[in-house]
Structure 1
Amino acid sequence: MKHFLMAGVIGAAVLAAGAATAECREVDAAMLALPLHAFDQTGQGWRSLDAEGCERQTAEAIRRYRDLNADALGAGADTLLWHEAQLRAAAGETEEAIRLMLRSREQDSDEFRPYTDATIAFLRGDREALIAARERLVSLPKPEAFARAAARYAETYPDHPPLSWPLNLDVVDRLIACFGQPYREAYSCEAPVAWNDD
């Protein structure tokens, strides 16, 4: 469920460009003791640490949280793995990001694997695999429960763009349009989508 819950959120919180910060905030004991939702989905948790240039430190905060709360996380661990992986990719730690994404992928349902595969293909510099993952993503049938889930998402996150199906297609299209750029830049690039080789 990681991508379903987070579609549209991660772009602003993790990878939005901003002014470089001279100093990165440190995670404290109170933050590490937060319940999973508060730590992962609100401004009380790791998102309060993230700033341009602080991705590595923020990823380390997530790793520490995972280590300290391993017994209580259950299915929530894959969401944290994914966010840590994205931060490591944004920090240029490509091999560690791929390793974490592959671990997270083990928990993915069929509708989320194409997005994960597309991201890994981008990080590996494999444009052909990236486009193939996009094709798998657009071929997914819309789940019957999607409209209800999208309505709940809109209520919970009124300041974020609404969900559209398939999830994360916009991200994958940006990765294709800005292929070869660093992940941080490609994730939020505004280049026109021109991925078709025709």
Structure 2
Amino acid sequence: MLAVAVLALSLSLTAVHAQEQCIDANQHYLQMNYQTFDQSVDGGWRAVADKEGCQLAAADLIHQYTNAKSDLSEGDTKTLNWHEGQLRATAGQSQRAIALFEQTYKPTERDIAGWNYYVDATIAFIQQDKAKLLQSRETLADVKMPEGLNMTNADGKPVEIEWPMNLDIVDSFIACFGASYKEAYSGKCGGD
């Protein structure tokens, strides 16, 4: 029994040490605005996740941020849930990732880009349900671009996008079926 307690303490201390290596003590993550915390490519949670072995620390940071901020919009919260889910899926926490992904569904009437089909495909991939993955891919591929849709970047400049959005990722899930989420999402599976 003592050996189990010592092992648990050792694992706990290892997790704390790993957290310290991942989190920049000089950053005040919970004080960042949403844009800086979530959308900055070299700051916020992404700077943590980019460090080797720090994906779970980044997922935990997103979880803390989401729970600490009372001024987040519904869309911001769903985006943070999605990103936390991706990190957890990458680290192999499949059930937790699925629960987070399920929180990101949009009301059908507001889903003009087929987001819900992408969520379905992602969950099907993680659950290794190839039939559902293929069905979700087919449904997503049928989503037509809304007339007059003009995508712009943060500076208001036009951006060309692949349509339907996320179809390339779903195709990677199919090509990499049976691989890890991390491999499939990156498109690097099967010895590529």
Give the whole-Å Cα distance in 2 for the aligned partners of 1:27 and 1:136. 45
**Alignment size in residue pairs:** 165
* 1:122 and 2:125 are equivalent in the alignment: yes
1:9 is matched with: none
Asked which structure has the greater CA Rg, the reply is 2
1:134 aligns with 2:137: yes
Give, in angstroms, the shift of residue 105 of structure 1: 1.6
Structure 2, unaligned runs of 5 or more: 1-20
Q: Distance in 2 between matches of 1:154 and 1:64?
A: 26
Larger CA deviation: 163-172 vs 106-115: 106-115
Q: 1:12 maps to which residue?
A: none
Q: 1:40 to 1:176 in 2, by over 3 A?
A: same
Q: CA deviation at 1:54?
A: 1.3
- Tell me the TM-score normalised to structure 2 length: 0.77
Residue 25 of structure 1: CA displacement? 2.9
**Are the equivalent residues in 2 in contact too, given 1:154–1:162 (CA < 8 A)?**
no
Residue 56 of structure 1 aligns to a residue whose secondary structure is helix
Residues 37, 44 of structure 2: 8 Å contact kept = yes
Question: Which amino acid in structure 2 is aligned with residue 74 of structure 1?
Answer: S
Alpha-carbon deviation of 1:80? Answer: 0.2
Partner Cα distance (1:139, 1:46) in 2 = 34
In structure 2, the partner of 1:44 is: 43
Report deviation, 1:106.
4.9
TM-score normalised by L of structure 1: 0.75
Long gaps (5+) in structure 1: 1-22, 193-198
Give the match for residue 62 of structure 2: 62
C-alpha distance in 2 between matches for 1:59 and 1:157: 31
Q: In the alignment, which residue of structure 1 is the partner of 2:23?
A: 25
Alignment partners' CA distance in 1, 2:161 and 2:22? 32
AA aligned to 1:164 is E
1:47 partner letter: R
Shift in CA distance, 27/189, structure 1 to aligned 2, threshold 3 Å: farther
Is the aligned partner of 1:94 residue 2:100? Answer: no
Instruction: Give the residue type in structure 1 aligned to 2:43.
Output: Q
- The aligned residue for residue 105 of structure 1 is 105
For the residues of structure 1 that align with 2:156 and 2:62, how far apart are their CA atoms?
23
Q: Indicate the RMSD between aligned Cα atoms, in angstroms.
A: 2.6
The answer as to 2:72 corresponding to 1:73 is yes
Give deviations 1:95-114, integer Å, cap 9, x for gaps: 00000101112567432101
Q: Which runs of 4+ in 1 moved over 4 A?
A: 26-29, 154-158
CA contact (8 A) 2:172 2:187 kept: yes
Residue 146 of structure 2 corresponds to: 143
Is residue 174 of structure 1 aligned with residue 172 of structure 2?
yes
Contact 2:106 2:115 in 1 (8 A): no
Per-residue Cα deviation, 1:49-72 (whole angstroms, up to 9, x for no partner): 013421111000000000110x20
Higher relative contact order, structure no. (Cα contacts within 8 Å, ≥ 6 residues apart): 1
